[in-house]
């Protein structure tokens, strides 16, 4: 099995295995199934990174739900930038709906705060967020994070949807950069 990979100019080492990811997702799915058992939430997937997590999570949800997507971008290379761009906006009418946002990673929280802003005036009933990975040391917001798959140190990772300049998403495991 391959334990280190090269993505563009960086080397990465295997850090979270596919089976650990799967277990973390099952736990999050159980909580969501319980918390939303009386509702039909709209699942809001943030493209591109959260697609892998969203697909595996959704297959374990037993609640009636719809899905919709937005595409935002805040990262350039390995740095979060202050500017979050709205590349594909909201298309769904969210009035009166419970919205569950699906994220691949919450780092500084800038993207999350941008999503909260986009949703604020939609007339939705409430918003929660589920993220596969979370970097507590980097997080700068007061907004609560409702469902966390894995808390990780403040180091750059790729795989399972997460990218370095567009590459590295296609691995089943998650890899951490070697400094």
- Active-site residues, by number, are 107
Query: What residues line the site for ligand IMP (CB under 6 A)?
Result: 49, 74-75, 80, 104-112, 156-158, 162-163
Q: Does 75 bind Mg ion (CB under 5 A)?
A: yes
Choices 73-81, 90-98, 121-129, 134-142; region in contact with Mg ion by CB under 5 A:
73-81
Cβ distance 105 to 78 under 8 Å? no
Each residue 138-177 as x (binds Mg ion by CB under 5 A) or -, in order, gives -------------------------x--------------
Sheet of strand 66-76: strand arrangement: 79-88, 66-76, 42-47, 98-106, 126-134, 147-151
> Which option in ligand IMP, Mg ion, none does residue 109 bind, with CB closer than 5 to 8 A by kind?
ligand IMP
Instruction: Pick the closer one to ligand IMP by CB: 104 or 173.
Output: 104
Instruction: Pick the closer one to ligand IMP by CB: 98 or 110.
Output: 110
Can you state the angle between helices 51-58 and 18-35, rounded to 10 degrees?
60
Instruction: Pick the closer one to Mg ion by CB: 79 or 91.
Output: 79
Q: Which helix (H) or strand (E) is 88 found in, with range? A: strand 79-88
Instruction: Pick the closer one to Mg ion by CB: 28 or 84.
Output: 84
> Which option in Mg ion, ligand IMP, none does residue 41 bind, with CB closer than 5 to 8 A by kind?
none
Q: Does 112 bind Mg ion (CB under 5 A)?
A: no
C-alpha dist (Å) from residue 7 to 12, 86, 119, 134: 7, 26, 34, 22
Q: In 10 A of CB 15, how many CB atoms? A: 19
Task: Report cis status (omega within 30 of 0) of the bond before 48.
Answer: yes
Q: What is the rounded CA–CA span in Å between residue 90 and residue 18?
A: 31
Binding positions for Mg ion, rule: CB under 5 A? 75, 163
């Amino acid at each position: 099995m391959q334990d280190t990979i090269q993505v563009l100019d960086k080397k990465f080492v295997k850090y979270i295995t596919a089976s650990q990811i799967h277990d973390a997702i099952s736990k999050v799915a159980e909580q969501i199934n319980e918390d939303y058992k009386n509702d039909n939430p709209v699942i809001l997937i943030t493209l591109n990174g959260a697609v892998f997590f969203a697909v595996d999570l959704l297959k374990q949800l037993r609640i009636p739900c719809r899905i919709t997507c937005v595409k935002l971008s805040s990262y350039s290379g390995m740095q979060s930038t202050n500017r979050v761009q709205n590349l594909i906006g909201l298309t769904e009418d969210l009035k009166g709906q419970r919205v569950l946002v699906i994220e691949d990673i919450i780092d500084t929280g800038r993207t999350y705060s941008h999503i909260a802003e986009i949703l604020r005036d939609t007339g939705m009933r409430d918003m929660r967020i589920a993220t596969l990975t979370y970097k507590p040391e980097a997080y700068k917001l007061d907004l609560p994070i409702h469902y966390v798959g894995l808390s990780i140190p403040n180091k750059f990772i790729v795989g399972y949807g997460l990218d370095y300049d567009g590459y590295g998403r296609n691995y089943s495991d998650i890899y951490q950069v070697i400094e």
